Chain A
Amino acid sequence: AQSVTQLGSHVSVSEGALVLLRCNYSSSVPPYLFWYVQYPNQGLQLLLKYTSAATLVKGINGFEAEFKKSETSFHLTKPSAHMSDAAEYFCAVRGRGSQGNLIFGKGTKLSVKP
């Protein structure tokens, strides 16, 4: 069965510092992986997705993620944090069956200090 684990429920960085949010997956088939962001009192917005076309995936707002099969990881990074990046970030893997079935991690809340 597919699953994702996000290491660290809360990450705090200073403005301008590197952002690194960790995600490890478990899947018995080639995984399709996603990162979503959720701002307070809002729904989820897709940041980027891994579809096996390229291991380094670039997304919106300067974020990118690298798929590493040997490490079963799909960590999200951004070179320089901005105050507007403060939000909750969810890693997800496509589940079996229907297209709408995404299996989400528990999320990592990112705080950005001025």
Chain B
Amino acid sequence: ETGVTQSPTHLIKTRGQQVTLRCSSQSGHNTVSWYQQALGQGPQFIFQYYREEENGRGNFPPRFSGLQFPNYSSELNVNALELDDSALYLCASSIPGQGNTGELFFGEGSRLTVL
């Protein structure tokens, strides 16, 4: 059983550019969440995708957007990059129907540096 995989592992962008990060969820998991982890901070929830639709969002502006594909993989897109977007972006998958007790399975993250 493969775990959650993310790509790229590291990337550098300049302010104003756009970035796309990719995530393949763990086998059998059809729910994907994205988190932003700034240096020295805990992860912050960006949004969740289920059945190819966003069904939950944290306190992030619209320039953070996502997609989920029929094979449950997902993308996180960030437009008009700002310096404060520099962070580790984590993808997590989960099994629906487990409600509030469900575990999230995290990938190793994509580290984005914005110059």
Q: Is A99 a contact partner of B94 (Cβ separation < 8 A)?
A: yes
List residues of chain A with CB under 8 Å of any chain B CB: 32, 34, 36, 41-46, 49, 51, 90, 92, 94-95, 97-107
Q: Is B48 a contact partner of A105 (Cβ separation < 8 A)?
A: no
B8 in the interface (beta carbon within 8 A): no
Q: Is A100 a contact partner of B100 (Cβ separation < 8 A)?
A: no
Q: Is A99 a contact partner of B48 (Cβ separation < 8 A)?
A: yes
**B-chain residues with CB within 8 Å of residue A43 when the two chains form the complex:** 4, 90, 106-109
Q: How large is the interface on B (under 10, 10 to 19, 20 to 34, 35 or more residues)?
A: 20 to 34
List residues of chain B with CB under 8 Å of any chain A CB: 4, 31-33, 40-45, 48, 50, 55-56, 58, 90, 92, 94, 96, 98-109
Q: Is A100 a contact partner of B33 (Cβ separation < 8 A)?
A: yes
**A-chain residues with CB within 8 Å of residue B40 when the two chains form the complex:** 106-107
Q: Is B107 a contact partner of A100 (Cβ separation < 8 A)?
A: no
Other than the given A100-B45, A102-B104, 18 more pairs (CB < 8 A) read A32-B101, A43-B90, A43-B106, A43-B109, A44-B106, A46-B103, A46-B104, A94-B100, A99-B98, A99-B99, A99-B102, A100-B56, A101-B56, A102-B45, A105-B42, A106-B40, A106-B42, A107-B42
Among residues of B, the one whose C-beta sits closest to the C-beta of A93 is B100
Cross-chain contact of B92 among A41, A97, A100, A103 (Cβ < 8 A): A100
Among residues of A, the one whose C-beta sits closest to the C-beta of B55 is A98
